[in-house]
Amino acid sequence: MKTISENRCFGGTQGVYCHASDATGTEMTFGLFVPEGAPGAPVLWYLSGLTCTHENAMTKAGLQAWAAEAGVAVAFPDTSPRGDDVPDDESYDMGQGAGFYVDATEGEWARHFQMESYILSDLPETIFAAFDLDHTRQSITGHSMGGHGALTLAMKTPGRFRSVSAFAPICNPSASDWGTPQLTAYTGVPSAHDATVLLATGGIDIPLLIDAGTSDKFYDKLGLDAFAAALAMTKTPADLRLQKGYDHSYFFVASFAADHMAFHAEHLA
Amino acid sequence: MKTISENRCFGGTQGVYCHASDATGTEMTFGLFVPEGAPGAPVLWYLSGLTCTHENAMTKAGLQAWAAEAGVAVAFPDTSPRGDDVPDDESYDMGQGAGFYVDATEGEWARHFQMESYILSDLPETIFAAFDLDHTRQSITGHSMGGHGALTLAMKTPGRFRSVSAFAPICNPSASDWGTPQLTAYTGVPSAHDATVLLATGGIDIPLLIDAGTSDKFYDKLGLDAFAAALAMTKTPADLRLQKGYDHSYFFVASFAADHMAFHAEHLA
């Protein structure tokens, strides 16, 4: 692991690091905020959306203020493997910057696009080996494609996370062009990575908070109606908030970052 | 209007009164909590569920503590006209104690079962004439059949209420045996009084909070899945909370009474 930068931030440290990942077969960059004076702090994973790197949320979501107050570390992974020898696609929602947090099995993607294993194994092993953080206390959140990642990874690994939240998540990708083409190309089976399908078939047993903005121009791609119906049909404890006038941007994420951090901090305590 | 009782309660007064209603053609009894030292206080209407009178929520929901703190008056109407000459039905969910907050047009029910007019006109006129309260600041809530009442009356009267909430509301009655037989008998048109249908066709433009318990044994009668999908589909600003392990009782209502009062107080301020 190599340190790219470390900045003092709300009394703690906002670092950017890189490491060689066995899962992706590439060098991967990630951000990590560690609060001051909180050895053994719990960790909140923040998964970013399409086109993002490790950097967007780290600089624009404003999570560090609340994380410092709550004594919670926040990890900001990248959204895909990257590099000249890593396959890509001309569209913004496929290939580099658009890993969809799954392990690809199909075609040229299978070699490097192993983001599920990267987020669940490689990166945590790297982080917990290098920093004094508590691997028994982890929660997960994310935005858009990262909300899809947070919801599906939490449902795929019962017991792993203490709470899950999402900002404007893609939550019915097998019925959306934000999901179906990509998950088909990567894995052949979009429904196996669809939060609505996973909820209806296996459920989720940890506290769940979702925010979405009613002026989100990508709203119809998210599938919130199907997910909301599935939540109610399965009687899943949850808080689903439709926030008037907010859009899909980091201004929306930042506006509710304090609520999400307070939610996770309560369950990580 | 006649005073039946007045009790000192959290510094204010919990009264019970009766009056002759033109709408129902009967004498009607209601409860009213007026906080201390708050002339011109806003009013929260609390509509009760099947089998209830004005008294159940007044004695079991624990709203007065928070209403006193917030300086909000709370009105507790009865759930139907009552009396020996008022038609009734042997079942608990039809007739007296089960007015469903509509104006009946059909058969024997039409004469007295005018609960929509009673709640929207007769009772407010009586209350605002007799008490120093602010008719320009009203919000509405309710439980079960009363949640149906709160949601539908709010949607039927845009601009009337500043916020609406509900505890375990019947919210898709035209697809439930808690609603279809009764609304058919009273009005002939259940869909005209169905919160899910009203939301999908006309929407709602005030803040909305709903709580329901995941261990509610009447859960499947409520239609929360259809309402949740309609909320998301119409991008309606709302907070829908599915509360783990709570049932349909007043213990559930009381557990979240403070949250609902804080929600309304914010919008009544």
The B residues from 226 to 255 touching A (CB cutoff 8 Å) are 226-233, 235-245
Distance of alpha carbon B34 from alpha carbon B38, whole angstroms: 8
- Mean pLDDT across chain B: 97
Note whether B232 contacts A241, CB cutoff 8 Å: no
| Overall average pLDDT of the B5-22 stretch | 95
The B residues from 181 to 220 touching A (CB cutoff 8 Å) are 212, 214-215, 219
* Beta-bridge partners for B20: B27
The pLDDT, as a whole number, for residue B2 is: 97
Cβ(A77)–Cβ(A44) below 8 Å? no
- Closest partner residue to A242 (CB to CB) among B219, B237, B242 is B237
Give the active site residue among A21, A144, A163, A165.
A144
Give the active site residue among A139, A163, A216, A260.
A216
- Closest partner residue to B242 (CB to CB) among A214, A227, A235 is A235
Give this complex's ipTM: 0.79
Note whether B242 contacts A224, CB cutoff 8 Å: no
Burial of A37 per CB tally in 10 Å (0-12, 13-18, 19+) = exposed
- What would the pLDDT profile of A235-254 be if each residue is shown by its tens digit? 999 999 999 999 999 999 99
pLDDT at A157 over 90: yes
Distance of alpha carbon A195 from alpha carbon A228, whole angstroms: 11
Note whether A231 contacts B244, CB cutoff 8 Å: no
pLDDT at B38 over 90: no
Exposure string (b/e) for B23-33, b if CB count within 10 Å is 16 or more?
bbebebbbbbb
Burial of A218 per CB tally in 10 Å (0-12, 13-18, 19+) = middle
Note whether A237 contacts B233, CB cutoff 8 Å: no
Distance of alpha carbon A244 from alpha carbon A226, whole angstroms: 20
Q: Which residues contact B116 (CB under 8 A, 6 or more apart)?
A: B101, B102, B103, B153, B156
pLDDT at B76 over 90: yes
Give domain limits for chain A: 2-268
Note whether B229 contacts A231, CB cutoff 8 Å: no
The pLDDT, as a whole number, for residue B225 is: 98
pLDDT at A127 over 90: yes
- Domain B2-268 CATH superfamily: Alpha/Beta hydrolase fold, catalytic domain (3.40.50.1820)
SS (H, E, C) B72-96: CEEEECCCCCCCCCCCCCCCCCCEC
Lowest model confidence (mean pLDDT) among A159-163, B57-61, B134-138, B177-181: B57-61
Other C-beta atoms closer than 10 Å to the C-beta of A110 total 14
Q: How confident is the model at residue B86 (pLDDT cuts 50, 70, 90)?
A: very high
Which positions of B are annotated as active-site residues? 144, 216, 248
Q: Is A239 an annotated catalytic residue?
A: no
Q: How many interchain CB pairs under 8 A, A with B?
A: 69
Residues from chain B that touch A244, judged by Cβ atoms under 8 A, are 237
Residues from chain A that touch B225, judged by Cβ atoms under 8 A, are 229-230, 232-233
Q: What is the pTM of this model?
A: 0.88
The pLDDT, as a whole number, for residue B218 is: 98
Angle, CA A101 vertex, CA A96 and CA A105 arms, to 5°: 80
Q: Is A191 an annotated catalytic residue?
A: no
The pLDDT, as a whole number, for residue A37 is: 86
Note whether A238 contacts B233, CB cutoff 8 Å: no
The pLDDT, as a whole number, for residue A4 is: 97
The pLDDT, as a whole number, for residue B37 is: 86
Half-sphere exposure of residue A3: CA atoms within 13 angstroms, side-chain side: 8
pLDDT at A38 over 90: no
Note whether B228 contacts A240, CB cutoff 8 Å: yes
Distance of alpha carbon A235 from alpha carbon B248, whole angstroms: 13
- What would the pLDDT profile of A60-107 be if each residue is shown by its tens digit? 999 999 999 999 999 999 999 999 999 999 999 999 999 999 999 999
Cβ(B65)–Cβ(B159) below 8 Å? no
Interface test mutation site (partner A, options B217, B242, B247, max chain A beta carbons within 10 A):
B242
pLDDT at A194 over 90: yes
Report the SS3 class of residue B144: coil
Shortest CA gap B249–chain A (Å) = 17
